[in-house]
Chains A and B, each alone.
Chain A
C-alpha cells in the first residue's frame, strides 16, 4: 500500500517536503513513484542553483515515461542526492528516505502554507 508520512507536507505536482528549520528536503511521493514505474534516471540541478516556487527543477524518467519535477517552494539548492545517479531505483523503493532528491534553503517559508497534509494529499490522489 502506498504511504504518506504524517510529518511531511505535499503539493499538487506530487512532490513532498520535509521541513528542517529554514531548510526543506524534497522528493516525489509514493503515488508519483508508483505512477512512473521503474525509475531509470533523475536529472537534478547543481548545488547553488536558485529556483522559484513551482519552477521546474529537474526531470525524472522511467521505462514508460518522462516527467518534470517542480519546486514546492522557492529556494537555493544546498544539497543533492548523489546516490540517485547510480541508483535511481531508490525513488521506487524508498521515496521518502534514501530516494530524497534535494535539500534547499527556503526563500520564504510561507510559500508552504498552501501545501497539503498527508490526509489531504491522500484524498487528493484518490480523486
Chain B
C-alpha cells in the first residue's frame, strides 16, 4: 500500500485553528466546513464569506503572440477583451468536442493569466504545452505553487474590500481586474466568483497568504464575515447553476451539451481547438443536454441518480443537493433535448422512490434575494 501525503495550502493552519473539518480534495487537504454548510451558505448569500481556493492552478502566458495562442486554446473569444485587466469564462475543448477543463482567462497589461481547476492542473499544463505547434517562442509559466487565492463573496464583499483597497473597488465592473497593496500585502483581484453573489477572487503570494487571510477575517468582523469551506462552495455554485468539472463538464461532454453554448464563440475569426465538433453541435443539435431540475419533497438528488420521463430512463443527475437559500432540492441532469424544455415533468430515482422533478430555467437563485 502506498500512502501519499496530502498537499496543503498556506492557510492550512488557519483552517485547523478555526476547527475546520478537513478532507482530501484533488490531493489537497482542504476545509469542507467550519461550522455548518448551511450556515456558511447563508452567510455568503446574506453577508460575506471567505474561501481558501489556493489549491487552484494559475498559468501565465507572455510574449507577442500570447493573445493569439490563448485565442487558439479556448472556445470563447478573447479578443472581445478589448481593454487590459478584463476577464472571461471559457473552456479548453478537445478535437472530439469533450472538455479538458473550464477556466477563467484574464487579459492583463503585459501577459495573460489562466486560472484552472485544482484537479486538472497537470493535465491542463500538458494540454497547453502540446499545442504550441503554431506558436513557437511562447513564454509560459506554471505559477500555481507560488500563488495563493482567496475568494471573498457576498453582498458585503465590495464594501469590505474597498475598506482595504480603496473606494474604486466598488465601481469595478464584473470580470475586471485590479491591483492594490493592503497593509503591505501585494494583491491583485478579479471581480469574479463561483457563488452567484458579488465578490472578488484575490491573488496573493504564498508567503503573504496567511497575512491576507487574517487581515480580511479581522476587518471583516464588522460585516459578520465567516470562513466558508468547499461544502458551501459546492452548494452555492449549484444554486447559482454554475457547472463543476467532473460533473457537468468532462472529457465526454462538450460545453454546448453542458448548457454553456453562450461562452462558445463560433463566430470568432481565429481557429480554435474543438471548433469543428462544436460547430456541428450548434448546427445539428446535441444528444444530451444539461437541465436544471427542481425536485419535490425533501430527499436530495445526487450525482448518478437516474432520471425518468414517464417510466423510461432518459438520463442521469450530474450534481444535486439542497438549494439551501431557495429552500428545495435542486439538481443538474443530462437528458435528451426532447425532455429539456422548461416545465417538463420528470422523475428522479432517489433510492427506492421516484421523486417528481420539474425542468426549471437557470439559475435557481438570482442575486438580491430573489428566488423563483
Chain A residues close to B by CB (< 8 Å): 37-38, 40-41, 43, 59, 61, 63-64, 66, 85, 88-89, 92
Contacts and interface: CB of A to CB of B under 8 A. Distances in A.
A37 B300 contact: no
Contacts of B231: 37, 63-64
B298 A38 contact: no
B36 A37 contact: yes
A68 to B, nearest CB: 10
Nearest to A34: B21
Contacts of B235: 63
29 contacts: A37-B33, A37-B36, A37-B37, A38-B36, A38-B38, A40-B298, A40-B300, A40-B322, A41-B298, A41-B299, A43-B299, A59-B351, A61-B298, A61-B299, A61-B300, A63-B37, A63-B38, A63-B231, A63-B300, A63-B321, A64-B32, A64-B37, A64-B231, A66-B302, A66-B351, A85-B298, A88-B298, A89-B38, A92-B36
A41 B37 contact: no
Interface in B215-259: 231, 235
A35 to B, nearest CB: 9
Contacts of A66: 300, 302, 351
Interface string B344-372: 00000001000000000000000000000
Contacts of B33: 37
B128 to A, nearest CB: 34
Contacts of A85: 298
Nearest to B299: A41
Nearest to B324: A63
Interface residues of B, number: 15
Contacts of B324: 63
Nearest to B32: A64
Closest 6 A/B residue pairs (Cβ): A41-B298, A38-B38, A63-B37, A40-B322, A38-B36, A38-B37
B41 to A, nearest CB: 9
Nearest to A63: B37
Given A61-B299, A63-B321, 6 more contacts: A38-B36, A38-B38, A40-B298, A40-B322, A64-B32, A64-B37
Nearest to A88: B298
Contacts of A92: 36
A65 to B, nearest CB: 9
Contacts of B37: 37-38, 63-64
**Highest count of chain B CB atoms <10 Å: which of A41, A63, A85:** A63
A41 to B, nearest CB: 4
Interface string B285-308: 000000000000011101000000
Contacts of A40: 298, 300, 322
Contacts of A89: 38
B295 to A, nearest CB: 11
A89 B322 CA distance: 13
Contacts of A41: 298-300
Contact of A63 (B299, B322, B351): B322
Nearest to B298: A41
A37 B324 CA distance: 14
Contacts of A38: 36-38
A66 B321 CA distance: 12
A11 B36 CA distance: 26
A59 B324 CA distance: 20
Most buried by B among A43, A59, A64, A88: A64
Contacts of A64: 32, 37, 231
